[in-house]
Chains A and B, each alone.
Chain A
């Protein structure tokens, strides 16, 4: 039995030649990699920690590709080598060297290298970091901003704003089950574990909006537990921080006043806080400046009057089993007034 006669496909039999699987793999890899570009992408890092992760990813990807090709080449050679020519593949030296010493050395080196990178990400930030606390809830994110003295300056939700060029330390925890804080372009994953506070440090280098996603399955709506990180210039951030620390805007028009009154009389304040009003609930997101956020419902809907109406009247259809009941009880105009009020809370 001769190996060279037994090869399953020869070039003459394969209509597209040998190149098509190679070309298809390259196209697929390219498409997959272009999917890694954007606002939720580990391969376009925007912070030192995320850069290290991307670097590790590339080293692993290229290293694994080289090793894979080498092993495949040896396998192919073993199949097609003339009898008596491939004996060196079975030699003790290659088995011990390639099968034992090489993996031990490579994996040990990788371990040291990745532990070093992880140390960088969890090390306390140098200088004067912005400190925030992120608390996972089923299924949204509570975000507290601390002032210079470590007291809570204000509370927001489903959005993290950070200044460019300044380190940020996020103390992450959970109010219920295990969640995981992950903003691929910037930081994480870091698990939010009941009874524990984990720290993660990152520093946005360029302004931009990035998407974060819960990365630990946490229940029916895990996929709809996202948030946005907005990185902006320090002056802009300082103005934003000061504004967010203040109370909610007073209604400016009769229609919005009607919305505020309905918001309060319908009991929304039992779960939501709007600073400057009697609404002081602590169950759902703080809505004091909800109109200023990029998204609502934990990163799943754009933020405007239409989506706000949809969410109020239909939250259980949009995100079944979340804690917010559908308030399918308002006349159209009333619903619009409440949504207009929330939209006005810039």
Chain B
């Protein structure tokens, strides 16, 4: 027994030494150009597939049919994924095709994976394969958005892919190619970096993607710059926005913020269809008066519409903003994932108090407002504390 163990130990040591010598000598060829032996490729893929399947066990798939998820996924796919994985009807990058392993053309391979497995791959990346992990690990919502898009990818003809990627923001709203060229020219020094922003937010900052992309037009320079800086330094986590913002120089971020802040005529989408009036009334009441018993102050003081005193421009205006975006941000605050620095900390203490119902009501109400329009539900004037009834019942006074 003892003898067997000694022999075993010696063999293991010899094997280790051999492997080390092989690596040390440099005989093993790490060239991507030569590819793998068939058996090696099979083994690596076998290991990868089983690893993903095992690690994706227990991941619960949320509902993925919200169109804003699909569009957010699409917007990111075009900038973040398509350079390596290609897209329907678009030529593939010859450089990335020389990677080893070559990034698969996803439209052909996606159906081999379940939603949970895709989520795991997009979130965690794959070792030794060049597939990066998601930049903002806490933003599962963004990863699911990518999955929502990927699941629709295989069935997409080039024609449809082009149609959805253009209709999300840029072309449908901005009109003709001439109009686009004019806007890019107006943007001047911001023009070059504007292309990446406009892919989702539009050349006039109207946002879109069924609420997947927030409106930027109507925001102040201060707010937009603060948001871009927060993304660039990573204090506001987002796997979608961080890479875009970090790639720009500080001067470029400033130019972009100035450009979008200066746009006044961006078109609005149709108002959201809200079946029940109570929701809008509840939203209007929250915006105008807050919910003091819950510790929720009136939104209007900082976010409009028509606050009694013009708020600090660094506070975003929410009038006409997409409901999906407002609700998503409030949920991120509530779950402690929003980030964004000291200003964000202020909002976090408020958002924490909100119920699901209140988030829905306030988001839909803001989305249904348009600048200069009288608020739909007459908001009571801010109740003066002195109007509040005395706590002592009448018969005791």
Contacts and interface: CB of A to CB of B under 8 A. Distances in A.
Contacts of B382: 278, 280-281
A135 B385 CA distance: 13
A197 B346 contact: no
A267 B345 contact: no
23 contacts: A146-B397, A155-B385, A175-B293, A197-B391, A265-B311, A267-B301, A267-B312, A269-B308, A270-B301, A273-B384, A280-B383, A280-B384, A282-B385, A283-B290, A283-B292, A283-B296, A316-B345, A323-B295, A327-B346, A328-B342, A328-B345, A329-B343, A329-B346
Contacts, number: 96
A150 B391 CA distance: 11
Nearest to B345: A325
Contacts of B295: 283, 323
B83 to A, nearest CB: 38
Given A270-B290, A270-B302, A282 B346 contact: no
Interface of B: 290, 292-293, 295-298, 301-302, 308-312, 314-315, 342-343, 345-346, 348-350, 382-386, 388, 390-393, 396-397
A282 B298 CA distance: 10
Interface residues of A, number: 36
Contacts of A155: 385-386
A78 interface: no
A125 to B, nearest CB: 13
Interface in A215-271: 262, 264-267, 269-271
A191 interface: no
A286 interface: yes
A197 B396 CA distance: 11
A133 interface: yes
A323 B349 contact: yes
B46 to A, nearest CB: 52
Contacts of B315: 267
A133 B290 contact: no
A283 B311 contact: no
Contacts of B292: 281-283
Contact of A269 (B309, B350, B384): B309
A136 to B, nearest CB: 11
Q: Is the interface of B mostly helix, strand, loop or mixed?
A: loop
A158 to B, nearest CB: 15
Nearest to B297: A270
Interface in A134-152: 135, 144, 146, 150-152
Contacts of B346: 325-327, 329
Contacts of B310: 265
Nearest to B291: A283
| Those 10 A-B pairs whose CB atoms lie nearest each other, nearest first | A270-B297, A278-B308, A150-B397, A270-B301, A267-B302, A264-B309, A328-B342, A325-B346, A325-B349, A282-B292
A271 B382 CA distance: 11
A154 B386 CA distance: 7
Contacts of A271: 297
A297 interface: no
Contacts of A152: 386, 388, 390
A173 interface: yes
Given A133-B390, A267-B301, A286-B385, 19 more contacts: A144-B391, A151-B390, A267-B302, A269-B308, A269-B309, A270-B297, A270-B301, A271-B297, A280-B383, A280-B385, A281-B297, A281-B298, A281-B301, A283-B290, A325-B350, A326-B345, A326-B346, A329-B314, A329-B342
Given A155-B385, A267-B312, A325-B345, A173 B301 contact: no
B311 A267 contact: yes
Nearest to A173: B391
Interface of A: 133, 135, 144, 146, 150-152, 154-155, 171, 173, 175, 197, 262, 264-267, 269-271, 273, 278, 280-283, 286, 316, 323-329
A77 B171 CA distance: 104
Nearest to A134: B391
A273 B297 contact: no
B347 to A, nearest CB: 8
A154 B388 CA distance: 11
A345 to B, nearest CB: 16
A135 B290 contact: no
Q: Which of A265, A273, A324, A326 has the most CB of B within 10 A?
A: A265
A103 B303 CA distance: 69
Contacts of A286: 385
Nearest to B383: A282
B6 to A, nearest CB: 61
A270 B397 CA distance: 31
A220 to B, nearest CB: 14
B382 to A, nearest CB: 4
Nearest to A172: B391
B226 to A, nearest CB: 10
Q: Which of A197, A269, A286, A327 has the most CB of B within 10 A?
A: A269
Given A267-B315, A325-B349, A328-B345, A283 B391 contact: no
B392 A133 contact: yes
B316 to A, nearest CB: 12
Contacts of A154: 386
A49 B308 CA distance: 48
Given A155-B386, A282-B292, A197 B345 contact: no
Nearest to B347: A325
Contacts of B390: 133, 144, 146, 150-152
A171 B392 contact: yes
A116 B147 CA distance: 74
A346 to B, nearest CB: 20
A323 B345 CA distance: 12
Nearest to A150: B397
A273 B301 CA distance: 13
Contacts of A171: 391-392, 396
B302 to A, nearest CB: 4
B312 A265 contact: yes
Q: Which of B309, B342, B345 has the most CB of A within 10 A?
A: B309
Nearest to B392: A171
Nearest to B289: A282
A135 B389 CA distance: 13
A150 B392 contact: yes
A281 B290 CA distance: 9
A271 B294 CA distance: 12
